[in-house]
A and B are shown apart, each in its own frame.
Chain A
Amino acid sequence: MQDFGNALELAIRLVASGDSDLMEIIALSLRVSLTALLVSAILGFSIGALVATSTFKGRGAIKILLSALMGLPPVVVGLIVYIFLSNAGPLGWTQLLYTPTAMIIAQTLLITPIIGALSTQVIEDIYLEYKDFFTSLAMSRRAVAGALLWDGRYSLLTVALAGFGRAIAEVGAIIIVGGNINHLTRVMTTAIALETSKGDLALAMALGLILIVVSLAINASVIALNLTAKRYAYA
């Protein structure tokens, strides 16, 4: 096993040289998690706007369900998607197991409840404040939802970032449905898991560094968004 200092040096060199394997892995990670984020944001924001502005009976139950699903362990999500996509499963015919699409599906299931639950909260708070005004204007449901989403834009962006942070750092779900196949479904987290177990710490640490940078960037964006929102009193 390499010693730590050695591995770190190698890792930095890998990153600096733009190693093609490394870049491929990073690119796939971003592609999978950003696609999952896009789908989850569309679903989650819609759920949020719908639940926050409705008065139907099952509303409370949906909110509780969403919050409960927020904490779903990634491996369990992976397992469920695996069961559906495996050859014997109901969606086996799609032949999606061990493809990036399967990974996108798993991450979408993982973060949609997070984005849904958090955006419901955000939109509900704004709606409470605007409700009388919107009622006074006799706005349509669609116009109300649109206005709430727009006025929640800063908070909703931070919600989306939280979802992305969870997706990009997650390993349990995608390793099961993706299989960590080289050049096909290998992403940052699964590569780290594999390379570490093989004892190749340099690549693992290089990817670890990238992940830390991504996570720092996400947190910095959240802070910047919050500051901007405060400055404009849009929080």
Chain B
Amino acid sequence: MQKRFTNGKTGLIPLEVSGLSYHADDRPLLDALDVRISSADRTVIMGPNGAGKSLFLRIIHGLIAPGAGDVRWGGRAMSDDVRRRQAMVFQRPVLLRRSVAGNMDFALSLRGAIDEEKRDALIERVGLGNARDQPARTLSGGEQQRLALARALALEPEVLMLDEPTANLDPASVLMIEEIVNEAHHAGAKIIFVTHDLSQARRLGDEIIFMHRGKILEQTQGDVFFKAPQSQAARDFIEGRIVT
């Protein structure tokens, strides 16, 4: 029933992480993680605040060097070339001091010529058609997140990483974003999606990775995870109890 891309269109799969640690002042923020993401399905990363989800994403995308351990995409170490085939939507959108269209053009120009038709279609797709010439930083929080997604899609990434991209959105926009993410997935992009939202994780999580206190406690198929979480922390999380 699940889509199988047999390791996808992308040569960047599997992602293999071994012995990944990151410390700040001797406090382990990520603690000897070993994980392998081998399918091109949608991987959802869940876990309570401060679990290390954003940090994990930033390290596998090569934004921060790990303290120890190894990250390999399709057998390759991170490089500019590998990173150019990925895109990340940050938890706090980083928008340039330019118009909505200017932000899109910036991304497009880095990957070749600016295709205005494609740009406008993407802006339209995220519901910002009326704001094309508006200064991006005057957009509302949710609009900013949608622009950040459109801009990431303009890069046509083989791996699309999203760090809580719907945290500030109204329900309709949440569905819009999920639809767009699914379209990107159908077009062949590997999706790695961080969320706190249980129902969203149910909808998107072909595979669930559950993190807690810098450790990966579970990596299971989505349907299995919600029926039979293996760790107490995941059970608490799913049932809405405070995770200790």
Contact = CB atoms under 8 A, between A and B. Distances in A.
Given A132-B58, A132-B90, A233-B135, A138 B83 contact: yes
Interface in B76-107: 80-81, 83-84, 86-88, 90, 94, 96-98, 106-107
A155 to B, nearest CB: 10
A114 to B, nearest CB: 23
Given A130-B96, A151-B97, A232-B138, A136 B107 contact: no
Contact of A137 (B97, B107, B138): B107
A139 B88 contact: no
A24 to B, nearest CB: 41
Interface in A119-153: 126, 129-130, 132-133, 135-139, 143, 147, 151-153
Interface of A: 126, 129-130, 132-133, 135-139, 143, 147, 151-154, 232-234
A125 B74 CA distance: 36
B196 interface: no
Given A130-B96, A151-B97, A136 B87 contact: yes
B24 interface: no
B96 A147 contact: yes
Interface residues of B, number: 23
Interface in B115-167: 135, 137-138, 155
Contacts of B138: 232-233
B190 interface: no
Contacts of B84: 137-138
A125 to B, nearest CB: 12
B135 A151 contact: no
29 contacts: A129-B94, A130-B94, A132-B63, A132-B88, A132-B90, A132-B94, A133-B90, A135-B62, A135-B83, A136-B61, A137-B84, A137-B107, A137-B155, A138-B81, A138-B83, A143-B110, A147-B96, A151-B97, A151-B98, A152-B97, A232-B97, A232-B135, A232-B137, A232-B138, A233-B97, A233-B135, A233-B137, A233-B138, A234-B135
Nearest to A152: B97
A129 B155 CA distance: 20
